[in-house]
Amino acid sequence: MRPTYSIIAPIYNEEGNIQLLYERIAAVMEQTNEPWELVMVNDGSRDRSLELMLSLAHSDPRVKIINFARNFGHQIAVTAGIDFASGQAVVLIDADLQDPPEVILELIERWQAGYEVVYAVRAERKGESWFKVFTAKLFYRLIYRITDVNIPLDTGDFRLMDEKVVRVLRQMREHNRFIRGMTSWIGFKQTGVQYIREARHSGQTKYPFRKMLRFAWDAITGFSYFPLQVMIYVSGLLGFLAILAIPVITVLRLARGPEFFGGQATTIVLLLLMSSFQLFFLFILGQYVARIYDETRGRPLYVVASTVGVKQPEEQKEPLNE
């Protein structure tokens, strides 16, 4: 039977969390009285994670496993889970129990009320270093400011998505993925539910600073052309300085004699002008690169929520894997 709910948990060296994760999710999902599945994606774990997952799947057929050949990263693991999930609503959750499974019931409530995306907003974070909390806050605010889609503040991947959203997500095959941005981009009716983010149940974070930086960069480059556009400001500033320098030097030379400032002045003005020109054309070049990027990413042009009197285009209806 087709499950109503698919819970997706990416797993990278989570041996200390898998059993409890399963128990807590099972306890919560039983309360819904609907069929469900737990899709665990093993992202190249080197500990006993896979072994534990296999034994769970053996005793409970609702547990499904996708086993990666190596570590492909969190966002890719979640993507595989989304590709293989078969539920009418898909829930993404971290395996370390920082996202309490009990919140899923609240997500479901909003889904039943008609929302297609229900994301969980971190009202408070427990057991994380001030550095992590600070950089995370900074990151979400920066993303919010410079990206084109409105990515809600302080939300991770912990969320519920209706199958309509999931179908579109499956069509978005970009390699550098920032899933929470991609769901915002898709649209539909979205809402948030507040929750308290717990401390990790067992083990260490799998997001060292290096991976976090990469993740932030994926988010920025995936959803904003700001890094390509800053050049125009620098170009404008240099051009302005060059133009300002000309009358200033002229006046100084008239007042103090032709030797004042020597040949340097001409060189400085020329240098400023040339740099300004070069940055300006780099900016133009960047605009073309941005367009090439848009085309190669091959996102759908639009997402249809509903139609009257016409059929929806085929590709909007069929998921990639069917």
Q: Which positions touch Mg ion (CB under 5 A)?
A: 94, 96, 98
Segment near ligand UDP (CB under 6 A), from 31-39, 204-212, 261-269, 305-313?
Answer: 204-212
User: Position of tokens 């769970």?
Assistant: 56
37 binds, among ligand UDP, Mg ion, none (CB under 5 to 8 A by kind): none
Using rule CB under 6 A, residue 15 touches ligand UDP? no
Q: Considering only residues 62-91, where is the footprint of ligand UDP by CB under 6 A? A: 71, 73-74, 77
**Rounded distance between C-alpha atoms, residue 166 and residue 322, angstroms:** 13
In the bound state with Mg ion, the residue whose beta carbon lies nearer, of 98 and 147, is: 98
**Rounded distance between C-alpha atoms, residue 119 and residue 161, angstroms:** 8
74 binds, among Mg ion, ligand UDP, none (CB under 5 to 8 A by kind): ligand UDP
In the bound state with Mg ion, the residue whose beta carbon lies nearer, of 38 and 279, is: 38
83 in Cβ contact with 170 (< 8 Å): yes
116 in Cβ contact with 156 (< 8 Å): no
180 in Cβ contact with 151 (< 8 Å): yes
Q: How far is the CB of 94 from Mg ion (least distance, A)?
A: 5
Using rule CB under 6 A, residue 205 touches ligand UDP? yes
Beta-carbon count within 10 A of 116 CB: 22
**Rounded distance between C-alpha atoms, residue 40 and residue 67, angstroms:** 8
180 binds, among Mg ion, ligand UDP, none (CB under 5 to 8 A by kind): none
Binding mask 258-297 for ligand UDP (x = CB under 6 A): ----------------------------------------
Selected from 18, 50, 95, 238, the binder of ligand UDP by CB under 6 A is 95
Q: Where are the alpha helices (DSSP H) in 172-263?
A: 179-186, 209-223, 226-256
Binding mask 144-163 for ligand UDP (x = CB under 6 A): --------------------
Selected from 98, 147, 155, 183, the binder of ligand UDP by CB under 6 A is 98
User: Position of tokens 């909003």?
Assistant: 110
CA nearest 128: which of 78, 76, 196?
Answer: 196
Residues 18-27: contacts with CB under 8 Å, at least 24 apart: 18/49, 18/52, 18/53, 18/56, 18/95, 19/52, 19/56, 20/97, 20/201, 21/95, 21/97, 21/101, 22/56, 22/60, 22/63, 24/97, 24/100, 24/101, 24/102, 25/93, 25/101, 25/104, 26/60, 27/101
Segment near ligand UDP (CB under 6 A), from 11-19, 250-258, 276-284, 296-304?
Answer: 11-19
Using rule CB under 6 A, residue 10 touches ligand UDP? yes
Strands (E), the chain: 5-11, 36-42, 63-67, 89-92, 117-125, 155-162, 190-197
Q: How far is the CB of 78 from ligand UDP (least distance, A)?
A: 8
Segment near ligand UDP (CB under 6 A), from 142-150, 178-186, 202-210, 278-286?
Answer: 202-210
Q: How far is the CB of 97 from Mg ion (least distance, A)?
A: 8
Using rule CB under 6 A, residue 135 touches ligand UDP? no
Q: Considering only residues 33-62, where is the footprint of ligand UDP by CB under 6 A? A: 43
79 binds, among Mg ion, ligand UDP, none (CB under 5 to 8 A by kind): none
**Rounded distance between C-alpha atoms, residue 293 and residue 288, angstroms:** 9
Using rule CB under 6 A, residue 207 touches ligand UDP? yes
Kindly state the DSSP code that residue 127 receives in the 8-state scheme: S
Give the residues lining the site for ligand UDP (CB under 6 A).
10-12, 14, 43, 71, 73-74, 77, 94-96, 98, 205-207
